Structure 1
Amino acid sequence: MISIIIPVYNEEKQLPALLKYLETASSTYIREILVVDGGSTDETSRLAIEHPKVTYYLSEKGRAVQMNYGAKNAKGELLYFLHADSYPPENFDDFIVKAVRKGYNCGCFQMRFDKDHWWLNLMGHFTKFNHLSCRGGDQSLFVTKNLFHSLSGFDENYTVYEDNEFIKRLYEHGSFTVIRKWLTTSARLYERMGVWKTQKLFIEIYWKRRFGASAEDLRSHYCKRINS
């Protein structure tokens, strides 16, 4: 059975639609939906608490911290980490269970954006390849609870690049697969900052990490660019 873990912060516009979608898009393998809030100041907490199929948790802010908190409290044998603005394919839980039964203990879906732009379409195309350089948190992530805990979960020093850092360890120690079904994620950051400015930021973060930048260096650079 699968525990869906959704880290949120001020997601009152995104969360209700996602929760409604999950009710109809899953089949029979969902045990619980955990919404882990990093201290939202909008209506996110109320919307999550009032939803009958959601278990709500309040934690310290930081996606790595929030996802680890959710994993610690999850009851399912499989953990599925999902962003509040990402929509997995219909019957996604069935696809995940089938992948695990084939021997894959971690993986994701191929991803497309909800914005029609040639560069974003090209980026989505590359997510179908099973290579570390094509990975990211927006694609969602499933992992067995045993593997997750054996790797000590997400590194909470990272407030930026936390998904990629953990996925790198999954590639080293797990059996990673890319399920050839489309997950659709929001291009809201690209729309806010512009496609090229956003892409330049992600490239800078990637290469800074490759050349040994610390978690704090990545956070500082990201915040400087995102607020400029």
Structure 2
Amino acid sequence: MNRISIIIPMLNEAEHIGKLLQHLIENAKQKNRLEIIVVDGGSTDNSVEIVKTFTQTNIKIINSSKGRSKQMNAGAKAATGTILYFLHADSFPPEHFDQFILNEIQKGNYAGCFRLKFDSNHWWLRLAGWFTKFNFKACRGGDQSLFVTKALFNKIGGFDESYIIYEDNIFISQLYDCNQFTVINSPIITSSRLYKKHGVFKLQYHFWMIYLKKWFGASAIDLHKYYKKHIS
């Protein structure tokens, strides 16, 4: 029987992590087929303490070196499920998200994501979310979450830890190369906090620049330098 391991990389997510864990508990259809692994990268707020208030046996927290790729790989290594579900701490999947994923696995779709909806009514963000219903590689991103069988994850070799940013896109691109990706047409709601912080079009410009730099061969180090200078 397939079991889903939800892997949440965390760094100073006190604002969201408790809400997310409660959301997952309340919206899962088959709770006995889930485990939740929160991978902390060295939080200095009270994120870890919040996670520890959840006493369910299927929720655990582990420590890892800082960096989403490293944290997600550590979570995958600790996972006991046959399906890995990578989820950002500020993204909230739809009701019965676990059943949606199990249904796709039964159809032979061994990797995929949900379509995206931002928690904002800004017209550009609504348009950007609408495009994510299409199964095109250019429409993908980590905020949409990612499910993949553990066997396929191991076959690809996990996330490339040389990438501090863009690691989701690198891995998803490899899944497309394997013709193993589907989009579930139910929305995951994600935070627009970075857009509110930097401005919608300014941030979108920088994301496009990162995409183009990678397209033209920029290294992982160059991408991270650009991100640190303009976004973080």
Q: TM-score range with shorter-chain normalisation?
A: over 0.9
Q: Partners in 2 of 1:117 and 1:186 — Cα distance?
A: 13
Deviations 1:51-74 (A, max 9, x none): 113210110000000000000000
Equivalenced residues, count: 227
- Could you say which residue in structure 1 is the equivalent of 2:173? 168
Deviations 1:182-228 (A, max 9, x none): 1100000000111011101100000000000000000000000025x
Q: How does 1:12-161 map to 2 (within 5 A)?
A: 12-28=14-30, 30-53=33-56, 54-161=59-166
Q: Partners in 2 of 1:83 and 1:96 — Cα distance?
A: 17
Q: Partners in 1 of 2:162 and 2:180 — Cα distance?
A: 25
Q: Partners in 1 of 2:5 and 2:90 — Cα distance?
A: 18
Aligned residues: CA RMSD: 0.9
Contact 1:103 1:175 in 2 (8 A): no
Shift in Å, 1:174: 4.4
Length-normalised TM-score, structure 2: 0.96
- Could you list the runs of 5+ residues in structure 2 that have no partner in the other structure? none
Shift in Å, 1:173: 1.5
In structure 2, what residue type is equivalent to 1:40? S
In structure 2, what residue type is equivalent to 1:102? K
Shift in Å, 1:49: 2.3
Q: Partners in 2 of 1:3 and 1:84 — Cα distance?
A: 15
- Could you list the runs of 5+ residues in structure 1 that have no partner in the other structure? none
Secondary structure at the residue paired with 1:95? helix
Shift in Å, 1:41: 0.3
Length-normalised TM-score, structure 1: 0.98
Identity between Structure 1 and Structure 2 (%): 53
- Could you say which residue in structure 1 is the equivalent of 2:11? 9
